[in-house]
Amino acid sequence: MHATEGGMDGSSQRSCMADELDIADTADLSDSWTVTSLGDYDRYQKHSGNVINIVWQYGDAVKKSLTMESDSYRVTLPYSWHNKITTSVDGSTITVTDREHPKYALCTFQVSDSSNAGDIGTSLIQKYQAGNTPVQMWATRWAFVAASDPASISADDAEDVTDLQTGGTVEYDSISAQIRAGDTSGVFAIDDYLKAHIGSARKVAHFGSWPSMAR
């Protein structure tokens, strides 16, 4: 919660993003909140004595832009990737890339029940079950690739991609130095962020034509 002192009457303002309060949906905010749409955000505001409480939530357009749908499932991507990624859908495969570095995928989703888990460079990160459809999320740990095979990606590009893959929660130079010293534990911050911030794969409903009604 972010607080600022107000006017001469001693009033103060407290504000935060909805996910800081673990509010998943606007329905969790009561009718006593005043809602204002401001670009990418919806602002929920409520007065309580001398305190103004404000909760910011991403608007429907942002949520929709981060929901990717294949022919059999859909996934929700992190808010931190808004306006920073490019996505492509090929049948049942969804690929997410860094908009500024489109050669490097942040993660890929595919329908599979394979037990293959890959290797430390490119690995199976998470398994989902979308109805009867098994979905897997894979990711290349570009920080590791840059350190172990510098010809495949530059350090600058790897830093940018890793920043998105971890939500900016790690120091790239530190991870890179650890890898070169033989310690690869830092790269798993990528796994932690993707698992925590990508919504579970959900089944896509397909509706057939309505049956004709006899008269």
Nearest residue to 138 via CA among 67, 195, 56, 79: 195
Percent of the chain having pLDDT more than 90? Answer: 58
Query: Does residue 213 or residue 58 have the better pLDDT?
Result: 58
Q: Would you state the torsion angle of the CA atoms of residues 189, 192, 195, 198, taken in this order, to the nearest 10 degrees? A: -60
Residue 57: pLDDT band with limits 50, 70, 90: low
Mean pLDDT of the chain: 82
Specify the amino acid at residue 125.
Answer: I
User: DSSP letter at 118?
Assistant: B
- Give CA–CA dist 82/137, Å, rounded: 19
Q: Identify the weakest region by mean pLDDT among 3-17, 22-36, 187-201.
A: 3-17
Residue 8 pLDDT more than 50? no
Question: Hey, where are the domains in the chain?
Answer: 2-59, 66-203
CA angle 147, 116, 162 (to 5 degrees): 30
Reported as type and span, the H/E element at residue 103 is: strand 101-111
Token pair, residue 178, equals: 């650890």
Residue 78 pLDDT more than 80? yes
pLDDT in tens, 90-108: 999 999 999 999 999 999 9
User: What's the average model confidence in pLDDT over 151-179?
Assistant: 95
Give the residue carrying structure tokens 């790269």.
Answer: 187
Say whether pTM exceeds 0.75: no
At 51 the pLDDT is 79
Q: Of 41-45, 90-94, 196-200, 209-213, where does the model show the most confidence? A: 90-94
